[in-house]
Amino acid sequence: MWTLACVRGVEAAADRPRSGLPVFRFLGSGDGEEVDVLNRVRSRRRRHNPLRRRSDVVETWTAIAVAVLLFVCAPLAGAAAGLWAHDQARTVAAAQRADRHRVSAEVIGKPPAELPSVEGSRPRSFLVEVRWTEPGKGPRTATAAVPAGTGRGDVVGVWFDAQGRNVAQPAGEVAVWQHTLTVGMWAAGGVVALVLLTSAVTRRVALRRRLAEWERDWALTEPQWTRRRA
């Protein structure tokens, strides 16, 4: 209430400097007066308004910058990050396909009686000894991960790298696009969060500065107002 009275005093002094009427008006003196004051407060950000303060200008340009960053820069950042992630994922997938090869191996080891517990919905697998034949090298054996439910004598497809280590299947197009969308969404979300946080801090600082300016204006105007009321 006191702060609104201060704002009204400053506005009335600026709008009616040559009027013989009282400069200040009380809150609640009439609906028309209240609407008139609210319209003046809302219009203080106009360029040629004499009540426009530096904090009002900062807040206005901040709102414009936030809109541009949210609707233009954030999608562009997400798209750029997604394209970069897509290129990186395709490069990694191509390197994996070049380094890894799939063989059809026979399970010669004994499956465990109980499968190890795993978290999430990933299919269970276990390590067991397998055997396969490579052209020109003869039979080979190794320990590889096979799907749950595989028994001795079953033939399964397993992947090995150039060093003969059992590895996962190379990433396919679905995995590449999943990685692309994930990185793009996280990048866009990060920009949005940063913009909103910066906007909140800026608005808070502008509000504190505006209140300080109102306090200073009221300290200068209040003595004149009290004399006129007396």
Query: What would the pLDDT profile of 48-97 be if each residue is shown by its tens digit?
Result: 666 667 777 777 888 899 999 999 999 999 999 999 999 999 999 999 99
DSSP state of 44: G
Q: For the chain, give every domain's residue range.
A: 54-99+172-207, 101-114+122-169
Query: What would the pLDDT profile of 145-157 be if each residue is shown by its tens digit?
Result: 888 888 888 899 9
Q: 161: which 2 tokens?
A: 């790298």
Query: What would the pLDDT profile of 168-213 be if each residue is shown by its tens digit?
Result: 889 999 999 999 999 999 999 999 999 999 999 988 888 888 888 8
pLDDT for the residue numbered 95: 93
pTM of the entire predicted model: 0.61
Q: Round to whole Å and give the CA distance between 145 and 101.
A: 15
CB atoms within 10 A of CB 78: 21
H/E element holding 158? strand 155-160
